[in-house]
Amino acid sequence: MIATAALLLLAATSTPDASLGLSKTGVFDVPAPPAVRAEDSSPGEKPAPPRAYPGAPPAIPHGIADFLPITRTQNLCLDCHAVKEKKPGEATPIPASHYRDLRRAPGAPRGRIAGARHVCTACHATRSDAAPLAGSTFGR
Ligand code: HEC
Ligand code: HEC
């Protein structure tokens, strides 16, 4: 009897499943996510977007479909970005931090990219025209 009353109370106050989570559908629906278009501009076509916060890895302002995958023996990002100085309209040089093994020998610059930096896309993300799922009050 008490259990039934508790259930009735729960049913009266419970939240409808369609208002749970970010996808406003019922748990038995299979919603199709809205189609998004990945950034497909050529390098240099669009200006670099502002950083999310100081020290954040900058977002990639150009398409990268032609430059992936990054494998042990192939990294096309280096072809453009492993340059010494910035020339107008060309790739931003990879910063000095990426040429150091910050874990084992932080004081010693190396002639090549540190292993931990090889897979650029682990930290640098491309963009798409997807709308944010939730608002953010995170300030710069
Ligand atoms: C064909 C040459 C080329 C290739 C290949 C290339 N890039 Fe770029 N990249 C550029 C140019 C040009 C810019 C724009 C530079 C600028 O705005 O100063 C750029 C900008 C960037 C930036 C923004 C830098 C900043 O300061 O905000 C990032 C991050 C980046 N690229 C990462 C990558 C990654 C990761 C790859 C591989 C998946 C890659 N790029 C492949 C040429 C290239
Ligand atoms: C472990 C995370 C990580 C990986 C992997 C990584 N980066 Fe970065 N990158 C960062 C962070 C954090 C910054 C910003 C701070 C800094 O300048 O060191 C940055 C900055 C940059 C910049 C901007 C430099 C400037 O002067 O504005 C370029 C270009 C860049 N990275 C290219 C690359 C490329 C190309 C690769 C792959 C070979 C790569 N990064 C791999 C974290 C990473």
Q: How confident is the model at residue 140 (pLDDT cuts 50, 70, 90)?
A: low
- Residue-by-residue DSSP string for 89-136: TSPPPPPGGGGEETTTEEEEE-SS--GGGSSGGGT----BSPPPSS--
Could you report the per-residue pLDDT of 35-60, keeping only the tens digit for each?
A: 999 999 999 999 888 898 889 999 99
Q: 98 C-alpha vs ligand 2 centroid, how far in Å?
A: 7
Contact, 38 vs 128, CB < 8 A?
yes
Residue boundaries of the structural domains of the chain: 37-130
Whether 94 lines ligand 2, by a CB cut-off of 6 Å, is yes
| Residue that wins the pLDDT comparison between 53 and 124 | 124
CATH class of 37-130: mainly alpha
Which one has a higher pLDDT value, 28 or 77?
77
Higher pLDDT, 61 or 22: 61
pLDDT at 32: 87
Centre of ligand 1 to C-alpha 99, Å, is: 17
Q: What is the pLDDT of residue 60?
A: 96
Cβ of residue 113 lying under 6 Å from some atom of ligand 2: yes
- Ligand nearest the Cα of residue 41 is 1
**Ligand 1 centre and the CA of 75: distance in Å?**
13
Please state the φ and ψ torsions of residue 5, each to the nearest 5 degrees: -60, -40
